[in-house]
Chains A and B, each alone.
Chain A
Amino acid sequence: AQSVTQLDSQVPVFEEAPVELRCNYSSSVSVYLFWYVQYPNQGLQLLLKYLSGSTLVESINGFEAEFNKSQTSFHLRKPSVHISDTAEYFCAVSTYTDKLIFGTGTRLQVFP
């Protein structure tokens, strides 16, 4: 069975500072990895994904994540955050069977 651990439940940061949201997974088979973002009172939206190929993946709004197989990690980073990045971020893992397992989420709070 697969599992996902998000080590930080909340991450406060000032605007324009860098941020890293940590995610570790456990699986005995090859996985696909995802980050989803949830803004207040909305559903989850896909931020970025790793399926295969380059281990570094990027989103259109400046986030990136690197798949590290040896450390079973898929940490999310952004070099300079904005107020509008305030949201809850979920790491997720799936396998060939398409069942997606989510972590418990990390609330990113960006302060001016």
Chain B
Amino acid sequence: DAGVIQSPRHEVTEMGQEVTLRCKPISGHNSLFWYRQTMMRGLELLIYFNNNVPIDDSGMPEDRFSAKMPNASFSTLKIQPSEPRDSAVYFCASSYAGGQGTGELFFGEGSRLTVL
């Protein structure tokens, strides 16, 4: 079975440019999470969706960040305009919350973003 698929795996861009990260969750999963990992701050939850609806976006750093989930098989995380401090590895994860959360997440391999 295919796992969580993220693209691109690596992105190098210049400050001020728009960045779009993509995620395809595991088929049948109804929760999707975006995390950011840096050396300084560790693993931070940015936003999560349940049944395509954003449930908690309190971790989104600022208005430059936005996330969408137009359907159950696709999500995007957009940064506009990007800044050097956005450089990090961004992970997408999915799970099945069948009415009783257990927190078992399945992670993609991450998108490594470098903003020059």
B-binding residues in A (CB < 8 A): 32, 34, 36, 41-46, 49, 51, 90, 92-105
Q: How many residues of B contact A (CB 8 A)?
A: 25
Report chain B residues within 8 Å CB of A90. 43
Total number of residue pairs linking A and B with CB closer than 8 Å = 65
Cα A52 to Cα B20 in complex, Å, equals 39
B82 interfacial by beta-carbon distance below 8 Å:
no
CB proximity to A under 8 Å, residues B68-114: 91, 93, 95, 97, 100-110
Report chain A residues within 8 Å CB of B33. 100
A-B contact pairs, 27 of them (CB 8 A): A34-B103, A34-B104, A42-B109, A44-B91, A44-B107, A45-B107, A46-B104, A46-B105, A46-B106, A49-B103, A51-B102, A95-B101, A97-B101, A98-B95, A98-B97, A98-B102, A99-B45, A99-B48, A99-B56, A99-B101, A100-B45, A100-B105, A101-B45, A102-B42, A102-B45, A103-B42, A104-B42
Cα A98 to Cα B42 in complex, Å, equals 20
Q: Which residue of A lies closest to B103 (CB)?
A: A94
In the complex the two chains form, is A98's CB within 8 Å of B109's CB? no
Q: Which residue of B lies closest to A6 (CB)?
A: B42
Report chain B residues within 8 Å CB of A98. 31, 50, 95, 97, 101-103
In the complex the two chains form, is A92's CB within 8 Å of B109's CB? no
In the complex the two chains form, is A43's CB within 8 Å of B110's CB? yes
Cα A23 to Cα B42 in complex, Å, equals 15
- The one of B31, B50, B100, B105 in contact with A96, judged by C-beta atoms closer than 8 angstroms, is B100
